[in-house]
C-alpha cells in the first residue's frame, strides 16, 4: 500500500447519497483543516458547516438570483452562455452538508515598510500578488478535502459561486469584519462506487530538479 494513497482518494464529487454525516466526522475533518500551514500562524480562516436543508436551499436561491441579476442588460448570447452554467453552481444541494470557508485579514510582510517609504501603488500591488493570506486558506481547504476523502466522503472545491459571495454570507448570517467567502464544498457519501480524476500533466512537463 502506498503511504500517499490518502492523497489519491480525493476526487471532485458532484453526486451524493442521502446518508447523514455525523458531527464527530465533521469536527475531525475541520480539525484537520486547521492543521494546515499558516503564515505567521495567523490561521485567518473560518468554517461554517451547513446541515440545515432550508439554509442550503437559501444559499442556492441566492446564487441563482444573483446570477440572473448579473446578466441583466447583457447581449442575449452572453446571457445564454452564463445561464447555461448557472445550475452547475448549485450542485452542492445534492449533498447533506455544505461547508463554507471564509478568509480573514492577513498582514502582508513588507507592505507597512513600503507604505512608510511612500512606495508606488504598483510596487505595493506587486507585493500582494502572491496573496499569502489566501494561500493559508487554500492549504486549509486542501486538508479538509483530503481528510474527508480519507474518511470515505466526497467533496468538490467550489469557487464558481463566489460572484454571489455577499449574498451567500447574508444567507448564513455570518458577519465578521474583514472576512469574505473564499471557497465552498459539498460534503457527503459519494453516489458512485468508482471515482476517477482527470489525467494529470506528465511530471516532465511540470517538474524541474536543479542539482
Residue 67 is assigned to a structural domain of this protein: yes
Q: Is residue 184 part of a domain?
A: yes
Cα angle, residue 9 at apex, residues 192 and 187 outer, rounded to 5°: 60
Query: Quick check: is 211 in a domain?
Result: no
Asked if residue 93 has pLDDT above 70, the reply is yes
Quick one: 8 exposed, middle or buried, by C-beta within 10 A (0-12, 13-18, 19+)? exposed
Give the sheet arrangement for strand 97-103, strand by strand. Answer: 45-50, 97-103, 180-188, 154-155
Model pLDDT for residues 54-89, shown as the tens digit of each residue: 999 999 999 999 999 999 999 999 999 999 999 999
Please count the other Cβ atoms lying within 10 Å of the Cβ belonging to residue 26. Answer: 19
How many angstroms separate the CA atoms of 163 and 209, rounded? 39
State the Cα–Cα distance between residues 184 and 187, nearest whole angstrom: 10
Question: Within a domain: residue 176?
Answer: yes
Residue 38: CATH number of its domain:
3.40.109.10
**Residue 104: inside a domain, yes or no?**
yes
What's the grid cell of residue 28?
Answer: 475531525
Question: Which residue segment(s) compose the domain that 17 sits in?
Answer: 5-206
Output the nine-digit C-alpha cell for 91: 450542485
- pLDDT tens, 32-53? 999 999 999 999 999 999 999 9
Residue 168 belongs to some domain of the structure? yes
Grid cell of 156 as nine digits = 468538490
pLDDT interval class at 129 (50, 70, 90): confident
- The pTM (predicted TM-score) of the whole model is 0.92
Average model confidence (pLDDT) across the chain:
94
- The domain tally of the chain equals 1
Q: What is the mean pLDDT of residues 131-151?
A: 96
∠ CA 112-183-50, rounded to 5°? 125
| pLDDT tens per residue, range 112-125 | 788 888 888 888 77
Compute the average pLDDT of residues 14-39: 97
% of the chain surpassing 90 pLDDT: 83
Question: Computed from CA positions of residues 153, 157, 161, 162, in that sequence, does the dihedral angle turn out positive or negative?
Answer: positive
Region 134-146: mean pLDDT is 97
Q: State the average pLDDT over residues 114-137.
A: 85
Question: How far apart (Å, rounded) are the C-alpha atoms in residues 21 and 95?
Answer: 10
What integer pLDDT is reported at residue 1 of this predicted model? 62
Q: Which secondary structure element, helix H or strand E, spans residue 59, and what is its range?
A: helix 53-70
Number of alpha carbons in the 13 Å side-chain half-sphere of residue 50: 26
Q: Which three three-digit cell numbers place residue 31?
A: 480539525
Q: Please tell me the least confidently modeled range out of 31-35, 137-141, 143-147, 197-201.
A: 197-201
CA separation (Å) from 67 to 62, 160, 174? Answer: 8, 11, 21
Amino acid at each position: 500500500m502506498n503511504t500517499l494513497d490518502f492523497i489519491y482518494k480525493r476526487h471532485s464529487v458532484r453526486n451524493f447519497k442521502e446518508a447523514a454525516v455525523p458531527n464527530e466526522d465533521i469536527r475531525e475533518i475541520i480539525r484537520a483543516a486547521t492543521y494546515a500551514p499558516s503564515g505567521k500562524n495567523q490561521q485567518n480562516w473560518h468554517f461554517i458547516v451547513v446541515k440545515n436543508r432550508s439554509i442550503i436551499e437559501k444559499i442556492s436561491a441566492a446564487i441563482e438570483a444573483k446570477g440572473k441579476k448579473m446578466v441583466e442588460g447583457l447581449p442575449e448570447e452572453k446571457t445564454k452562455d452564463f445561464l447555461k452554467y448557472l445550475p452547475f453552481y448549485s450542485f452542492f444541494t445534492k449533498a447533506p452538508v455544505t461547508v463554507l470557508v471564509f478568509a480573514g485579514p492577513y498582514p502582508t510582510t513588507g507592505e507597512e515598510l513600503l507604505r512608510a517609504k511612500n512606495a508606488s501603488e504598483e510596487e505595493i500591488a506587486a507585493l500582494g500578488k502572491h496573496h499569502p493570506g489566501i494561500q493559508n486558506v487554500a492549504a486549509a481547504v486542501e486538508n479538509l478535502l483530503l481528510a474527508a476523502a480519507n474518511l470515505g466522503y466526497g467533496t468538490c472545491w467550489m469557487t464558481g459561486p463566489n460572484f454571489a459571495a455577499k449574498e451567500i454570507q447574508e444567507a448564513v448570517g455570518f458577519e465578521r469584519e474583514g472576512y469574505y467567502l473564499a471557497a465552498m464544498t459539498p460534503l457527503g457519501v459519494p453516489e458512485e462506487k468508482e471515482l476517477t480524476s482527470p489525467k494529470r500533466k506528465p511530471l516532465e512537463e511540470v517538474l524541474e530538479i536543479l542539482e
